[in-house]
Structure 1
Amino acid sequence: MSLYTGKKVGVSKEEKALPYYPLFERKMAEVPPEKLALVEEPSAVPVIPFEEKDRFLQGTDKEFCQVGYGVAADGTGFVCNETYMPGVTGEMMDWWFPWHSVGSDLRYKIWDPEDHYFARADKAAYVCDPVVPVVQKTWGVDHYIMEDIGNGPSFLHLQFKRPRDFGFDESVLGSATCQSLVCAIGAGDCAAAMTHKWFPYQDGILFASRFWIGYALRAGEVVKALPEGVSVPLEVARGLFAHNIKEFTNLAAILPEVYAANKDNF
């Protein structure tokens, strides 16, 4: 199968004049065949349960799914992925998540030119404030997004959190298995909890993602939001997995160049 349509989202005259527009024009980096093959078959092993998510940060969840997708016994969906990003540093990734949420929509489009339309932070002044440490620029910030994960363009509301407000043990941050991370709860067609962590690996970083589909924010707590007896459709998890491996393969290819040219430009 192919994840690539060859049809890119629209861009404006103003976007075409931006210095990083050539990255939009460039052919997207292709997902390795061995990972692409996983789209066809859901994993027989589930992801780490949300209640044990600190083990993901600690790197002690190896008996659970590391790359794949599926539906757990309780009906929640899961997606997990690992992407080796040569030439990428943790500092680049800390910068990327806030940077692409402000300024031109082209910042989000270059990440996945076929599927990303825009990502806009609700607190742009906070994100752009040089006093705010870069690792904190997603904390308490909502991103309003339009993207296509297989069923046409749809809106997504991502509520980014400080790690402790997501339920993580922050003492793990800065360790060999979790240099840094972002975490958010998505409110949309299908609510989900999401986290991405990264740490030094070989000549770059290893970027690891976990999604727990069917979880939502209720009274400040991240909880299972699916009614009993209801399951997330397998195709929802499959579509998210296919999108995830596509977008992060391409981000690994462009991030060093984007960062070098724009790291001081919020």
Structure 2
Amino acid sequence: MNSRYETSYDELLQPGPLMLETGVSRLEDGRLLVAARTELPGCAGRMFDWWFTFFDSTRHIRWWHPHDHVELRGWDGRRRAGRGYVGSTVRAVEALGEIPPVPAVLKFHPPENFFGAGRLSAALARGDVSAAVCARIAFGDEPRLSADGDPLDGEMVHLTRDTAHGAVLRSRFLLGAADGSGEAVPERLGLELMRHCYNEFSCLARFLPSLYYGEHANGEKGPLAW
């Protein structure tokens, strides 16, 4: 296991191939790293980012993953529908493939906090990244939260890069406590999360462009075929 994964997401900012694009690896500190790479044909980073400002019902998340997503339990008051989600918390119930449904809580953070100083903004300026969605996550009926409500079970990073054919999504999940507290996250859970992530964003790509243009998101009405 390469220990660089323990401290940095910065390598995700470069567009070239990585040693780990899709897979699961156990870090030296016991945490589990889950990676997934998903093609999003016809999509763009601005659409991907907008989706997180849009979805607000169980119906919406079932479009996203018809098999695994069970219930959206709602956003907190910090979310601004149609405008922004950073700083807000969302709660849902979802399965991970063959793993039965459990409650999940995600709190979205400023993406730049997950990367070295200035590196995300530089990648955005170069066009190597078109959107970044980052959160801390927790699972279970009584999720582990910090005093200020931050989930403590792991981290989630999604980065898109726009291409001539659509967008490429790189996803990373870092599961478990860095201080070694609690039980180690089973590798089976990591594999099911990897599959879940690939499937949910493959499903999203099938309808996201039409939904984005149909909602006139960001003032765009979409291109005409004739």
Instruction: Report the TM-score, using the length of structure 1 for normalisation.
Output: 0.68
1:115-154: CA deviations, max 9, x gaps? 1123322126x422x6xxx4xx121010111111132111
Q: 1:123 aligns with which of 77, 98, 122?
A: 77
Alignment partner, residue 145 of structure 2:
none
Q: Which moved more, 1:48-57 or 1:152-161?
A: 48-57
Deviation of residue 257 (structure 1)? Answer: 1.9
SS in structure 2 at match of 1:226: coil
Distance in 2 separating the partners of 1:55 and 1:185? 19
2:122 alignment partner, one of 161, 169, 172 = 172
Match of 2:40 in 1: 85
How many positions carry a matched residue from both structures? 202
Q: Which runs of 5+ in 1 are unaligned?
A: 1-44, 216-223
Residue pair 1:46, 1:78 contacting (<8 A) in 2 also: no
Question: In structure 2, do the counterparts of structure 1 residues 263 and 94 end up closer, same or farther at CA, with 3 Å as the change threshold?
Answer: farther
Q: Distance in 2 between matches of 1:157 and 1:61?
A: 31
Q: Tell me the secondary structure at the aligned position of residue 200 of structure 2.
A: helix
**Residues 47 and 78 in structure 1, CA contact (< 8 A), matched pair in contact too:** no
Distance 1:127 1:46 in 2: 39
1:54 and 2:10 aligned: yes
Q: Deviation per CA, 1:157-179, whole angstroms, max 9, x where unpaired?
A: 10110123445544235232212
Match of residue 148, structure 1, among 87, 95, 102:
95
Q: CA-to-partner distance for each residue in 1:68-105, whole Å, 9 max, x for gaps?
A: 113223211111111111111121111111211x2x32
TM, length-normalised to structure 2: 0.79
Provide the rounded CA distance (Å) in 1 between the counterparts of 2:189 and 2:99: 10
Runs of 4+ in 1 over 4 A off after TM superposition: 45-48
Question: Do the aligned residues in 2 keep the contact of 1:176 with 1:199 (CA within 8 Å)?
Answer: yes
Q: Cα offset for 1:49?
A: 1.3
**CA–CA separation in structure 2 for the residues paired with 1:47 and 1:57:** 18
